[in-house]
């Protein structure tokens, strides 16, 4: 086999492996968006129940009422942003990958989903943060001051722990490899498997001669 033919074969193999990797990443991103959509729907449901069933006491201060309604509608708006965006991404991303005009449509779909993920994560984080503030505001409206203070401290500690653990978990669990590194790793794994098969065949042939 000539050198040019070997290069073409290697390029075709790398392209095939990269598309296989892109299909796996597409499935991974779709599952991430689906998980965030379910969580955002759950938070939004709790918020709708709160705004429809909670009766604000008449003696509640004006500033506390303002904080309550502002964070409530902010959380609901952020949750709706997550719901709408993730639904569209789960529909349009795989649609582009399956029915795109070029053979690299799946790569374009993955790149598009990857570019939209930070905005969805930001809206999801805002929804959780405002949801916690709603819980604090509700506790100060319907509870005694001592209980409301204890509730606020518990929520602040939980938020602080989450804020501390999230960057640590991201640092430990994030993928440091680029798509090119992953393709090279897949090629090396395939080469190792082929070498093992060749070794087994050589051992079998040698045993037959013996």
Amino acid 203: pLDDT? 47
pLDDT < 50 stretches in the chain: 177, 198, 200, 203-207, 210
Q: Which of 141, 156, 137 is nearest to 47 (CA)?
A: 137
Count of H-run helices and E-run strands, the chain:
5, 0
| pLDDT tens by residue, 154-165 | 988 988 887 777
* Angle formed at CA 29 by CA 20 and CA 175, multiple of 5 degrees: 80
**Predicted local distance difference test score (pLDDT) of residue 107:** 81
């Amino acid at each position: 086999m000539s050198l040019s033919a070997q290069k073409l074969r290697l390029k075709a193999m790398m392209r095939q492996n990269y598309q296989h990797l892109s299909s796996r990443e597409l499935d991974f991103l779709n599952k991430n968006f689906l998980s965030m959509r379910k969580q955002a729907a759950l938070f939004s449901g709790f918020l709708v129940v709160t705004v429809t069933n909670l009766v604000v006491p008449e003696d509640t201060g004006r500033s506390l009422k303002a904080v309550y309604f502002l964070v409530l509608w902010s959380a609901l708006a952020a949750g709706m942003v997550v719901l709408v965006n993730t639904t569209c991404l789960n529909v349009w991303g795989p649609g582009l990958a399956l029915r795109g005009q070029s053979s690299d449509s799946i790569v374009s779909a993955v790149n598009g989903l990857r570019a939209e993920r930070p905005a969805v994560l930001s809206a999801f984080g805002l929804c959780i943060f405002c949801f916690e503030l709603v819980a604090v505001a509700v506790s100060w409206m319907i509870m005694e001051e001592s209980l409301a203070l204890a509730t606020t401290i518990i929520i602040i500690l939980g938020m602080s722990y989450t804020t501390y653990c999230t960057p640590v978990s991201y640092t430990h669990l994030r993928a440091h490899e680029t798509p090119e590194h992953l393709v090279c790793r897949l090629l090396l794994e395939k080469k190792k498997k082929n070498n093992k098969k060749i070794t087994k065949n050589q051992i079998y042939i040698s045993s037959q001669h013996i």
